[in-house]
Amino acid sequence: MTKTLPLAEAKKKLSAIIKDVDEKYDRFTITKNGVDKAIIMSTEEFEGLMETLDILSNREETRAISRAKREVRKGKTVALKEFKEGLKVK
């Protein structure tokens, strides 16, 4: 959930904001003079977004994702158990 706070309030509540970001994955938009200026989110969520952007900006990777989606739609899948057995991994 994203909450909006003015900068002055965010300064006062920074510890509570960090706790909510860490434990609840809340996001906070910080405003200054009523204008959005910053976002506070968990490091884990930020890193996930950056990784997603990296993947989506790579043409080869997006093509591989599209091929995989087509194969799933056609039923060309293998159960994890079968895959591991093929690799002889337990």
21 Cβ neighbours under 8 A, 6+ residues apart? 27, 28, 40, 41, 42
- In a shared domain, residues 31 and 51: no
Q: Which one is predicted more confidently, 9 or 85? A: 9
Distances (CA, A) of 80 to 50, 67, 86: 28, 19, 10
Considering its fold, how many domains does the chain have in total? 2
| Maximum separation of any 2 CA atoms in the chain, in Å | 62
State the pTM of this model: 0.68
Binned at pLDDT 50, 70 and 90, residue 85 comes out as confident
Specify the pLDDT at position 68. 93
Per-residue pLDDT tens over the stretch 6-27: 999 999 999 999 999 999 999 9
- In a shared domain, residues 9 and 35: yes
Specify the pLDDT at position 27. 97
State which residues form the domain around 37.
2-42
Q: Is the pLDDT of residue 40 over 80?
A: yes
Q: What is the CATH number of the domain that holds 35?
A: 3.40.1620.10
- In a shared domain, residues 38 and 51: no
